[in-house]
Amino acid sequence: MFKRLGAVLTLAFASLVWAETQQANLTVYTRTGTFIGGYNDTYPDVRHFKYIPYAKPPVGIRRWASPEALDDSTEVIDSTVFGPSCAQYVSAVPSVWAMNITGNLIVNYGESLLAGEFAQNSAEDCLTLAIWTPANATAGSKLPVIHFFTGGGDVTGGINIPTQIPANWVHRSQSHIVVTTNYRVNIFSNPHARGLHNHTNFAMQDQRVAIEWVAENIAAFGGDPSRITIWGQSAGSGMVDTYLSTYYDDPIAAGAIMSSAFAIGYPAMTADYDGLNFTFVAKSLGCDFSDPKVELECMRRIPPARIENFVGQYQDNSSLVDTTQSAIKFTRQIDNKYVWTNYTKRHLEGKYAKIPTIFGTTAREFSALLPYEEDGPSEELITEDTLIFVCGGYNTTKLLNQANLTTYRYEWAGNFSNIAPVPWLGAYHYSDLYMFFGTYLIAPGEITDLEIQTAETMQDYFLDFISDPSSMSNKWPAYDVYAANGGNITQFGADGKAVQIVTGDSVEGACHIPGATYNTTP
């Protein structure tokens, strides 16, 4: 009897020790606070911290101001639940993102994907990031880190997007950490107000403060601050490429990945240097003042939902109704501080971070970006506009080759019916993220063996890069635009193959070879 009781007590004590160890591993101490994380429901070998502030809240007098680093703090913060995305609007204009594709928009907990109103799960106090690690990672693990910046055309986006949750990838590798980041968007990021005197592009500034926070604190989560790779998709990709030109002498990162948008040829720019768009919104909301400072102070008192609803509904009306009203736009703008006039010139002057890079495109970038039509846009428009990104990648990597900087190229060309549910989508802009994050598993429909193999291959190629950007394995050859046939591009998902190496000319020949055509369905 006593022997049995002793065994029970020993087992109970061991269980208690195990539980305490597990709980201790969910508590991480940093300079800016103590964060309590959790284990992923689907992958219990993955630890997550979904809510980590990286800058002071940009509210009140900090609205439309540069982000401020956080003070020292011993505050204990529950990081098991996502915070809000940055203030944004849910458009009422039909789009393929709302009508056909699963899980690519921020989670708004029941709000219609065509609500035509302020995103109810968004707010100004939004400068947070999230971290996913293997469950057994500790402060001494020194794992490589990939720091992701979401897309959204400078007007939407955030951490809490189902297809951008990296739990599957971290579960598979058990050897790296993923960070994803909120940053300000739309008028709260790019106001271009008269009263700011060309002080704008706040998302670009948010990005830098987030990268600095990760570099300072990621070791506590098991990461290696000397092995941080920054990665962006779409607007986030353009931000990363721009960042490498802005902070060329101190990028912090060891490597960078740009997926589907580049500083050269970036299409979503605003040229409103007189602040007319901001003044129009201000007057419409009762802030009708000729003095720019008073106009700005008045607008800082308007609730964010009221501002976003006016801007969004005005823009929707321009699209939904036959009207001659003037368009308004709040995206990044050249200021020659964070966004530059001439990137080619900066490249040639050596003003680009001297770290290894990856540039990627999808075969049919614009099938999902052109105005929505049930039967899809014209093939001519898809091809013409896709070349904006393809040729932007070509022109940038050509300049990097001239500077003897190592770069790699990929094209995503897969066409799987669960992530591309209508036939004209194909390898559309964004669809490669399903593969890298492993979230193709949440898309309804058949999942083939080829899709699984392709996704795992793509994850492993990226992992190979972030583990040591300066020493890639031979399976992914570096790009050399001057080589025969335009160098090598790694192509994923085409011709029934998970991966193959193709010539640069076969992908981007239309950018520089007279008479060459571009293939949107390789």
User: What are the chain's domains?
Assistant: 1-206+266-347 (3.40.50.1820), 356-522 (no CATH)
**So what's the pLDDT on residue 269?**
94
Q: Is the dihedral of CA 205, 206, 209, 210 positive or negative?
A: negative
Residue 14 has a pLDDT of 38
Q: Name the residue type at position 119.
A: A
Tell me whether residue 301 is exposed, middle or buried, using C-beta atoms within 10 angstroms of its C-beta: 0 to 12, 13 to 18, 19 or more. exposed
DSSP 325: P
76: number of Cβ within 10 Å? 12
pLDDT of the residue at 471:
81
Q: What is the pLDDT of residue 474?
A: 64
H or E element, residue 489: strand 488-492
Q: First and final CA of the chain: distance in angstroms?
A: 73
Tokens of 508: 């981007």
In this prediction, residue 117 carries a pLDDT of: 98
**What is the structure's pLDDT at 264?**
96
Instruction: Please tell me what DSSP assigns to residue 364.
Output: B
Instruction: Tell me what pLDDT residue 326 has.
Output: 80
Give the whole-angstrom CA distance, residue 484 versus residue 471.
23
For β-strands 499-503 and 488-492, DSSP reports them as antiparallel
pLDDT for position 318: 85
Rounded Cα distance between 56 and 125, Å, is 8
- Give one word for 75, left, alpha or beta, with left for phi > 0 and alpha for psi -120 to 50: beta
How many C-beta atoms lie closer than 10 Å to residue 109's C-beta?
7
Q: What is the pLDDT along the chain (522 residues), one digit of tens a residue?
A: 544 444 444 443 433 334 444 566 999 999 999 999 999 999 999 999 999 999 999 999 999 999 999 999 999 999 999 999 999 999 999 999 999 999 999 999 999 999 999 999 999 999 999 999 999 999 999 999 999 999 999 999 999 999 999 999 999 999 999 999 999 999 999 999 999 998 999 999 999 999 999 999 999 999 999 999 999 999 999 999 999 999 999 999 999 999 999 999 999 899 999 999 999 999 999 999 999 999 999 999 999 999 999 999 999 998 776 666 788 999 999 999 999 999 999 999 999 999 999 999 999 999 999 999 999 999 999 999 999 999 999 999 999 999 999 999 999 999 999 999 999 999 999 999 999 999 999 999 999 999 999 999 999 999 999 999 988 766 789 999 889 899 999 999 999 999 999 999 999 999 999 999 999 999
User: Is the whole model's pTM more than 0.75, yes or no?
Assistant: yes
Query: Are 408 and 469 in contact, with CB atoms under 8 Å apart?
Result: no
- Read off the amino acid at residue 252: I
CA proximity to 135, closest of 214, 54, 42: 42
State how far the alpha carbon of 417 is from the alpha carbons of 101, 169, 368, 420, 450, in Å.
Answer: 11, 21, 15, 5, 12
Q: What is the largest CA-CA distance in the chain?
A: 90
Residue 182 Cα distances to 19, 126, 147, 155, 157, angstroms:
32, 7, 11, 12, 8
Chain centroid to Cα 485, Å, comes to 32
- Confidence (pLDDT) at 322: 60
Predicted pLDDT of residue 319: 76
Please, what is the angle between helix 276-284 and helix 304-320, to 10°?
110
- Side-chain-side CA neighbours of residue 314 (13 Å): 17
Q: Residue 226: enclosing H or E segment and its boundaries? A: strand 223-233
Residue 436 CA to residue 459 CA, distance in Å, equals 5
Nearest Cα neighbor of 230 from 163, 178, 161, 156 is 178
CA distances to 65, 202, 292, 299 from 60, rounded to whole Å, are 10, 15, 17, 10
What per-residue confidence (pLDDT) applies to 472? 75
Q: Do 275 and 193 contact (CB within 8 A), yes or no?
A: yes
Q: Looking at the annotation, which residues are catalytic?
A: 234, 365, 429
Rounded (5°) CA angle 239-221-457: 60
* Residue 147 structure tokens: 């720091």
- Distance between CA atoms of residues 444 and 419, nearest Å: 8
Cβ partners under 8 Å of residue 406, min gap 6: 356, 357, 470, 478
- Strand 46-53 vs strand 38-39: parallel, antiparallel, or unpaired? antiparallel
Distance between CA atoms of residues 28 and 50, nearest Å: 13
